[in-house]
Structure 1
Amino acid sequence: MNLTGALFEAIDMRSFSNLWYWIALAVLWSTASHWVIGVPFDLIQRARRRGGAAVDEVGALLVLNAQRFARIWHEGGLALTMGVSFALASAMLLGFWYDVEFAQAVVLMVGPLLIVWAMTVRRALEIEAAMSAGRMEPRVMLNMLVLHRLKVQVVGMIAVTFTAFWGMMQNFDIGLDMFLAPAL
């Protein structure tokens, strides 16, 4: 057996039947819901319970991360959007037109994550504007972060459910034509 054969046997490019894919998907969404605009959720919970210095810590982290996301968007948003759109369209074409399972798996991981990225950038721009105007109250800030996390979790639940459905269809070799064909 050559090196390439051993590598592909170890990695198994059939992603939906690979345990590592599902572990990576779980880690991806748990990480995405833990870091709310760059602020760890346990810190947000502590600030909601204790107040005081914990709220100041969350506020400082939030300002830094909101400015960071806003700067990334202002300086390279167009180029980033074009590059990511090209890469995602290429992966979608490979995955769903040419039936490459690895590309399908990448699209089903990255696609919903891009929705979360867009939500995060939008929220960061709102936070940056509110902070510069000096009109962000601590309780409003904490509630906004909790609501943002809830939205990320909803996107994650829908994405994981759809990915599991699609993965089962791929593993059982069921095509969409079965669902789209008229009943006889």
Structure 2
Amino acid sequence: MDWTNTLFEVIDMRSFSNLWFWISLAVVWSSVSHWVLGVPFDMIQKARKMGGQAEIDLHDMVRINVNRLLYIGQVSGLVLLTFLAFALTSLAILAFAYDVELAQAVFLLAFPLTLVGALSLSTSLVIAREQPEGEALYARLSKHRVITQFIGMISIFVTAMFGMYQNLAVGAGF
């Protein structure tokens, strides 16, 4: 027997039946919802609760990350958008036209993250334009986090349903 066949029999290489895929999915969405525009959410809560130096630190960190995101968008936004469109289209074709399970898993992870990236850029533009302070900034960041969590919740649900369908269809021999 060939060693690769033995390896693939011992380790299930299909994405949706692999525990590491689901752990990765949970870690990605947990991290994405914790870091709001590059600022940890506990820092936002601390600034809201304590004020003072924590609030100054939060404003500085938000300003730095907003300027960084806007700079990246202005300097290389078109190139990144082109590459992202190519990569997502390639993944979608591989995933759903050619039925490649790894491409399906990566697409179901990457596509919602692009929505969060677009949301982050949009929120950065609003913050740069309005320059909110204090409670207005906290509300804007909290709204961004809630929308991100909603996107993550829908993404996890769709991925779980699609993954269960794939496991049942492949496992049952349909």
Segments of structure 2 that go 5 or more residues without pairing to the other structure are none
Counterpart code for 1:152: T
Q: What is aligned with 1:170?
A: 166
Q: What is aligned with 2:31?
A: 31
Q: Hey, which bits of structure 1, 4+ residues long, moved more than 6 A?
A: none
* 1:6 Cα offset (Å): 7.0
Normalising by structure 2, we get a TM-score of 0.91
SS of the equivalent of 2:169 reads coil
Question: Matched residue pairs, number?
Answer: 169
Normalising by structure 1, we get a TM-score of 0.87
* 1:13 Cα offset (Å): 3.2
Question: Is 1:146 matched with 2:142?
Answer: yes
Out of 154, 157, 161, the residue aligned to residue 157 of structure 2 is 161
Matches within 5 A, 1:108-123: 108-123=108-123
SS of the equivalent of 2:57 reads helix
* 1:11 Cα offset (Å): 6.4
Q: 1:59 to 1:93 in 2, by over 3 A?
A: same
Q: What is aligned with 1:17?
A: 17
* 1:143 Cα offset (Å): 1.1
Describe the superposition over 1:75-104 as per-residue Cα deviations: whole angstroms up to 9, x where unpaired.
Answer: 011110010000000000000010000000
Q: What's the % identity of the aligned pairs?
A: 46
Matches within 5 A, 1:1-184: 1-2=2-3, 12-131=12-131, 136-173=132-169
In structure 2, distance between residues paired with 1:85 and 1:98: 18
Segments of structure 1 that go 5 or more residues without pairing to the other structure are 175-184
- Tell whether the 8 Å contact from 1:13 to 1:101 is kept in structure 2 after alignment: no
Counterpart code for 1:106: V
Q: 1:10 to 1:117 in 2, by over 3 A?
A: farther
Counterpart code for 1:59: H
* 1:52 Cα offset (Å): 1.4
* 1:7 Cα offset (Å): 6.8
Describe the superposition over 1:141-181 as per-residue Cα deviations: whole angstroms up to 9, x where unpaired.
Answer: 0111111100000000000000000000000018xxxxxxx
Q: What is aligned with 1:179?
A: none
In structure 1, distance between residues paired with 2:161 and 2:41: 29
In structure 1, distance between residues paired with 2:139 and 2:115: 21
Moved more, 144-153 or 7-16: 7-16
In structure 2, distance between residues paired with 1:123 and 1:95: 31
In structure 1, distance between residues paired with 2:89 and 2:58: 37
